[in-house]
C-alpha cells in the first residue's frame, strides 16, 4: 500500500472522529435546550443557567446566584416595551 493511501486513510479516520465529537456536542446542546437548560455556565459563579421567558423574551437565570443574563439586544427589547420607565429614558437618552 502506498504512503498516499495510508495518509488518506488516516485523514478519513481523523475526520470521522472530529465529526463524531461535533455530533456529540450538538446532541448534548439539543438535550439541554429541550430541558430548558442553557449549555452556558454563569460567568459570575459558574452555576447552571436556565432559560426562562420574561415578558416574551428568553432570558438566562443562574440557579446558584440568581443572576440574570440577557443576550445582545434583549435589554433594548425589554426597555422598548416600557418606554416610560426611568431606566428606559436613561438608556435611550441622547448625548
Ligand atoms: Zn451565578
Q: How far is the CA of 61 from the centre of ligand 1 (A)?
A: 8
How many whole angstroms from 29 Cα to the centroid of ligand 1? 20
Q: How far is the CA of 62 from the centre of ligand 1 (A)?
A: 5
Whether the model pTM is above 0.85: no
In the chain the first and final C-alpha atoms are separated, in Å, by 72
pLDDT of residue 68: 92
Check pLDDT > 60 for residue 1: no
- Sequence length of the chain is 95
Residue 84 Cα to ligand 1 middle (Å): 30
Phi, psi of 75 (to 5 degrees): -65, -45
Q: What is the pLDDT of residues 80-93, one digit of tens each?
A: 877 778 888 888 88
pLDDT at residue 44, rounded to an integer: 94
With CA atoms as reference, report the closest residue to 52 among 41, 61, 63.
Answer: 61
Q: Is the pLDDT of residue 95 over 70?
A: no
Model pLDDT for residues 3-60, shown as the tens digit of each residue: 888 999 999 999 999 988 888 888 877 777 777 666 688 999 999 888 888 888 888 8
List, in sequence order, the alpha helices (H) in 35-71: none
Amino acid at each position: 500500500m502506498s504512503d498516499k493511501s495510508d495518509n488518506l486513510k488516516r485523514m478519513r479516520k481523523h475526520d470521522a472522529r472530529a465529526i463524531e465529537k461535533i455530533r456529540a456536542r450538538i446532541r448534548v446542546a439539543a438535550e439541554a435546550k429541550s430541558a430548558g437548560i442553557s449549555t452556558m455556565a454563569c460567568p459570575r459563579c459558574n452555576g447552571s443557567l436556565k432559560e426562562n421567558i420574561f415578558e416574551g423574551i428568553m432570558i438566562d437565570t443562574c440557579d446558584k446566584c440568581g443572576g440574570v443574563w440577557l443576550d445582545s439586544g434583549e435589554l433594548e427589547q425589554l426597555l422598548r416595551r416600557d418606554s416610560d420607565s426611568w431606566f428606559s429614558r436613561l438608556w435611550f437618552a441622547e448625548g
